Chain A
Amino acid sequence: MHITMTGINKSFSGNQVLKNAEIDIAEGEIHALMGENGAGKSTLMKILTGVYTRDSGEVLVNGTPVNYTHPKQAEEAGIVFIYQELNSVPDLTVRENLFLGKEIHGKFGILDKAAMDKKARQVLDRLGVSIPVDRTMSELSVGQQQMIEIAKALLVDAKVIIMDEPTAAMTLEETRVLFRVLRELKEKGVSTIYISHRMEEIFEICDRVTVLRDGQFIGTKKVSETDMDSLIKMMIGREIGERYPARHSKIGDTMLEVKDFTKKGVFQNVSFSVRAGEVLGVSGLIGAGRTEIMQSIFGYLPRDGGTLLIRGKEVSVHSPEQAISYGIGFITEDRKTEGLMLEKSIRENVSLTNLGRISDHSVIDKKKDMELARKAVQELTIRCSGPEESCDSLSGGNQQKIIFSKWIFTEPKILILDEPTRGVDVGAKKEIYNIINTLAEKGVAVIMVSSELSEILGMSDRVMVIHEGHMAGILNNRPETAAAGEKMASQENIMTLATGGKLK
């Protein structure tokens, strides 16, 4: 199937989000669609699949003009959009999800389970995944759920599959399986439109890339004929310089020491320390227990054993409240469910961790409250109409900056970051790295959990690797401080430890 979209315009309540956008998808190609958050990628794809109607422009499928007004029509034509927030029903089984709305039934409307199982089996085999069809959806990992979505697409005989950041929450192994599946689909003539912020993936899997900026078409390039820097320049309209800005911090005394942290079945005997001004990267596969260890340090997740020392003194932290009182801050992995009150204003979110600072005898000082929010907007350059704007209308990068300001103003001595740049576009990513560097330079001890290896290697002084709840090792990432023959942090060494291997 060959798709051409040209001259696409679309406005929402006077705000033009697409101006003359275009994209061309050939049969059997993997085509990356890139651009910063708000560049119009999703809108363009939703117009293609009939979720939105375009104001003007042309969509050709195999040379014939089409105008889908409902996703169902696009699906019947073989174009399927797999959303980032997967559209499956968590309480139903895999089988029920696969055939939702398209159940196979025999006489009298009785479901033909055998027929469905057979078909499901065929599709899942084709994908090379072994997921029992009567498993409840919510028991599956995100990667497995993604596979079910692809299986759903194959069941309706999709010719073009659109995927929005499919690997955001996938393990490395799952990503590998996904890429293999996409390549196989490509050979059978199925095209994929691949939306992702992860440069490495674009260069690994995609054939061509189209870049949008501010709703406009910037260009389409063959991946083999371009490079990371020029793509970034296309996306943000200027040079970005170093992806990972340099840091000039003085590493001081040990701030936090974790000893023998254990939670049965989740993590065992984890011990490490982090010093003032240092960024300790925490790497490992998804599900290795990294987040849980951090939550436990923060007093959110009860542990079975282990001690916590702050500046060499043993402290008892059993609630986030206590952790904050010891100067620990925690920027959580999931902005929407753990980080923000989405429908509340920037002001209300920033002040929540700083209630003591903006009040006198528990009575809120309105002026201080407002000042703090203004300071956040200014100092972290949060792009918004003002501190009263509610968070749900902001981009991921700006939401993340609100969470940072929420914690920075508590003046933490130790700051834990869990996936600080997930779902954040290139420009905002660099701003966040700058914030992290400024904090470290001020003497904050930073622990940064990240699944992006390049981010770990670009930002950390040392890297701790977690494998199945155990600390697999700590690697130095500063060549200037390396001892002779010391094992350094590198992509290979980290992956070896993360997958349970031994360093030679």
Chain B
Amino acid sequence: MNTKTLSRPRIGDILQNLGAMIALIVLFVAFSIISADFRSMNNILSLLKQASTNGLIAFGMTGVILTGGIDLSVGSLLALTTVVGALMIHAGTAPVIAMLCVLLLGVVLGALNGILITKGRLQPFIATLITMTVYRGLTYIFSNGMPISGLGSDPLLSGVGRGTMMSIPVPVWIMVVLFALYFFILNKTTFGRKVYATGSNEKAAQLAGVNTHKTKVILYTISGFLASAAGLILLSRLGSAQPTIGVGYETDAIAAVALGGTSMMGGRGKIYGTLIGVLIIAVLNNGLNIMNVSSYYQDVVKGIVILLAVLSDRKR
């Protein structure tokens, strides 16, 4: 009786990312034609390197948005964890320990978001708006509002952001590995199924025996962890920790997720879409920079590209 095609959802999935994929290719080709600097191998590697921080944050954001939530605190969390790490190194802690502490703090602060949302029954938007404010405030308190530099020349610390492996920058490796890992988790594991179920119909998921609260706390924890990892890359690249670091990072991450076709209502979306979104934003930033477009205009152009990509996805 029902003649809807078998492959309907799959075609939907592909189409979901088609607009973004086309946008990425068009932008890449266009910039390559216009600018020889853009298409140089060096620049492409540095573009990917720049993409890595937003990449990590956006991966974490994807998991959160898949449950219909949002994590506005990522930028502040990144700042707080890196400033604490920088202070520890400054005070003489071994950089390895300090770096582990950064990640651990990211886990704790991320989990706190999750607990506020589940146990505290706060809306994700409100909960992370609160922690975004508080984490940023703490960052200023701890740093006294001053940048923290003089972090020495530890090979591990500088390697994370500036090193290369097989002539590819370490941050790019980190992004690729973490992408593969999170892709696997979301698509191939029972936990991934629970994530989609929680976002698709939370009540039905609970009644099917899914501990949706636990699922959410884990996702916010992963988001916190990835944001602090992104912070480590930045700390290493810049050689100092600014208290203003990471301001507005949540918008780039959310934009990448949206570009990738993930529904803000949850339940639908793919992390590889987010990767495409991250690359679009990186290509735009890098290309417009190379073409000496003023940063004021860059934001407007970015907004228009996102709008076009999202609109083209809607015709399904």
Contacts and interface: CB of A to CB of B under 8 A. Distances in A.
A339 interface: yes
B211 A364 contact: no
B189 A343 contact: no
A321 B214 CA distance: 12
A14 B192 CA distance: 37
Interface in A376-398: 383-386, 388-390, 393-394
A271 to B, nearest CB: 24
B90 interface: no
A340 B194 CA distance: 14
A366 to B, nearest CB: 8
B314 interface: no
Contacts of A130: none
A347 B189 CA distance: 15
A11 B6 CA distance: 21
Nearest to B268: A343
A341 B190 contact: no
A352 B188 contact: no
Interface string B205-224: 11111110000000000000
Given A359-B189, A359-B190, A363-B189, A344 B200 contact: yes
Given A337-B201, A341-B204, A383-B1, A364 B193 contact: yes
B117 to A, nearest CB: 18
Interface in B7-57: 7-10
Contact of B201 (A340, A363, A406): A340
A390 B203 contact: no
A342 to B, nearest CB: 7
B2 interface: yes
A300 B268 contact: no
Nearest to B12: A390
B225 interface: no
Contacts of A337: 201, 203-204
Contacts of A385: 2-6
A394 B1 CA distance: 10
A384 B6 CA distance: 9
A321 B211 contact: yes
A15 B208 contact: no
A25 interface: no
B9 A364 contact: no
Interface centre among A332, A340, A363, A406 (most CB of B within 10 A): A363
A38 B193 contact: no
A353 B209 contact: yes
A384 B5 CA distance: 10
A348 interface: yes
Interface residues of A, number: 41
A292 to B, nearest CB: 14
Interface string A338-363: 11111111001001110110010011
B9 to A, nearest CB: 6
B209 A323 contact: yes
Contacts, number: 98
Given A355-B193, A384-B2, A394-B2, A389 B8 contact: yes
Contact of A393 (B2, B193, B203, B206): B2
B211 A352 contact: no
Interface in A253-304: 298, 300
B201 A341 contact: yes
Nearest to A332: B207
A320 interface: yes
Nearest to A406: B208
A15 B3 contact: yes
A389 B188 contact: no
Contacts of B9: 345, 388, 390
B144 to A, nearest CB: 45
Contacts of B7: 388
A386 B200 contact: no
A352 B210 contact: yes
Contacts of A324: 209
Given A38-B1, A385-B5, A364 B204 contact: no
A439 B9 CA distance: 32
B85 interface: no
Nearest to B190: A355
Contacts of A351: 193
A504 to B, nearest CB: 41
A307 interface: no
A319 interface: yes
Interface centre among B8, B203, B208 (most CB of A within 10 A): B208
Contacts of A340: 201, 204
Contacts of B2: 383-385, 389, 393-394
A389 B11 CA distance: 12
A348 B196 contact: yes
Contact of A352 (B189, B193, B268): B193
B64 to A, nearest CB: 19
A386 B8 CA distance: 11
A383 B207 CA distance: 25
Given A339-B204, A385-B6, A389-B2, A321 B193 contact: no
Given A343-B200, A383-B1, A320 B6 contact: no
A38 B8 CA distance: 21
Contacts of B142: none
A330 interface: yes
Contact of B205 (A345, A352, A388): A352
5 contacts: A15-B3, A298-B207, A355-B190, A363-B189, A389-B6
Interface of A: 14-15, 38, 298, 300, 319-321, 323-324, 330, 332, 337-345, 348, 351-353, 355-356, 359, 362-364, 383-386, 388-390, 393-394, 406
Interface of B: 1-10, 188-194, 196-197, 200-201, 203-211, 267-268
Question: Which 7 pairs show the lowest CB-CB distances between chains A and B?
Answer: A341-B200, A355-B190, A386-B6, A324-B209, A341-B201, A321-B209, A320-B209
